[in-house]
Amino acid sequence: MGTPNSRRGKRAKAPPLRIAIVLGQAAPPGRLARAASALAGEIRKLRADAAVVSIDLSATPLEACDGRPADAYGRPTRDAVGAIHSASAVVLCSPVYRASFPGVLKNVLDLLPVEALRDKPVAIVAMGASDHHYLGVDAHLRAVLAWFGALALPTSVYLKGADFAADGTPSAQTVETLAILAVSLVELAERVRGASFGPPPLAARV
């Protein structure tokens, strides 16, 4: 007679996590990009086998969403959409722009089909000049993420100039905060992998 484990069979090992980090700004990379890089490093510390893909919208401008079929867009746009679609979890990094998030980031979200973020953990990292607009990006992004049925982490990270050294390097406290966000994102991604939550968002109903 076989052992209980042999009768049930071994559980297949889950594939490595894939995390897509979207740097949602048109300006050249600066402090926000360094924060995103530090976050990627913290994710790799937690899961050395995790595939972390960075999508820098300042380096790779994407085509404007105009209703074309997905395969009618150019390769950079299709690759960016594909990287987000295939990710286990997503991080949206955004500066505060006009009390909200920039149009380049909205364009990426417009390009995504609802399935790309539905039931998927999403973390938010925002950066502004002061604390006065700390919920601008957060509140507006959460409304869009609700349209997708995404699983936005309960709290986001908000950064300002004081959270960085003079050379733009994230402070030790900033890195610690990003490390906590990384733990939350990775743990949620592993717990809900393959799960489906209902009811479906209005955008997914037929």
- What is the tens place of the pLDDT at every residue in 171-187? 999 999 999 999 999 99
Task: Identify the band that residue 12 occupies on the pLDDT scale cut at 50, 70 and 90.
Answer: low
pTM for the whole structure = 0.92
Quick one: average pLDDT of 119-140? 93
Give yes or no for residue 28 having a pLDDT over 80: yes
What's the 3-state SS for 170-192? Answer: ECHHHHHHHHHHHHHHHHHHHHH
Which domains does the chain carry? Answer: 14-204 (3.40.50.360)
Query: Which residues, 6+ apart, have CB-to-CB distance to 65 below 8 Å?
Result: 107, 110, 111
> Which tokens sit at 8?
């049930």
Whole-number average pLDDT of the chain: 92
Query: Is the pLDDT score of 206 beyond 80?
Result: no
Report the b/e string of 152-169 with b at 16+ CB within 10 A: bbeebbbbbeebbeeeee
Long-range contacts of 165-174, Cβ-Cβ distance < 8 Å, separation of 24 or more:
168/30, 168/31, 168/34, 169/34, 170/31, 170/34, 170/35, 170/38, 174/35, 174/38
pLDDT at 1 over 90: no
CB 20 within 8 Å of CB 87: yes
The answer on pLDDT for 9 being more than 60 is no
**pLDDT band at residue 167, thresholds of 50, 70 and 90?**
very high
pLDDT band at 134 (very low <50, low <70, confident <90, very high): confident
